[in-house]
Chain A
């Protein structure tokens, strides 16, 4: 099956620093990837849709200058949490869908990245 790799799995940083999270589709191309945030005991919240070759589409209430998304290639999207604060501590998950005729609508998820801001 399709594999999405997310890195790092865990990150602890000081308040005010920036953190970059990578999402890679290992065995398929993904023009579109998605970034989610999940707080404890809550559902996934879509933050933004990452589009290769164009700007990301952010959901309402998500600050684009705070959460920078770069979809550098058909297999890599990055999320940078800039000037992180303790309230940014969360579980960040990416997902991707296979491009083209193999697209069944199924989403393949990365393993998630747990960010803790001190």
Chain B
């Protein structure tokens, strides 16, 4: 089993749609959780950190469920510019920080 697993993609959605990505992690000692966005041929960029209480940034909402070791990202009112690969990233401090990337989920938003 992979340490961080994400929904297989790609997701093809029309503009205005709501789309949800899921991610599970296997290390119960994981401490920090992030969603990164990566555009084609570009470096990953932080989209948002994920907190236990859940957090929202505009059209994006992230949730963390520590008991189920599950993270989600919800995108409302999808825009064409949301088309990218979304990476679930988990960090654990077990004798040194270790960051694990999910394989990423590709999103295509179509007009």
Q: Contact at A106–B41, with CB atoms within 8 Å?
A: no
Contact between B32 and A44, CB atoms less than 8 A apart: no
* A105 CA to B89 CA, complexed, in Å: 10
Give the contacting residue for B45; candidates A43, A97, A105, A109; CB below 8 A: A109
B41 touches A114 (CB 8 A): yes
Tally B residues with Cβ within 8 Å of A: 20
Interface centre among B41, B44, B45, B97 (most CB of A within 10 A): B44
Q: Please give me the residue from chain B that is nearest to A114 by CB atom.
A: B41
- Known A104-B32, A105-B31, A105-B32; contact A44-B44, beta-carbon cutoff 8 A: yes
- Interface residues of B: mostly helix, strand, loop or mixed? strand
Chain B 72-105 interface residues, beta-carbon cutoff 8 Å to A: 87, 89, 91, 93, 97, 99, 101-104
> How many residues of chain A have a CB within 8 Å of chain B?
20
Q: How far apart sit A97 and B31, CA to CA, in the bound complex (Å)?
A: 15
How many Å from the CB of B16 to the closest CB on chain A?
27
When C-beta atoms are compared, the residue in chain B nearest to A112 turns out to be B43
Chain B residues with CB under 8 A of A114: 41
Shortest CB distance A72–B (Å): 21
Residues in chain B within 8 A of chain A (CB atoms): 31-32, 34, 41-46, 49, 87, 89, 91, 93, 97, 99, 101-104
Between A and B, 13 residue pairs with Cβ closer than 8 Å are A6-B43, A34-B99, A43-B101, A43-B102, A43-B103, A46-B101, A93-B43, A93-B44, A97-B97, A103-B97, A105-B31, A109-B45, A111-B43
A residues touching B (Cβ–Cβ < 8 Å)? 6, 32, 34, 42-44, 46, 91, 93, 97, 103-107, 109-112, 114
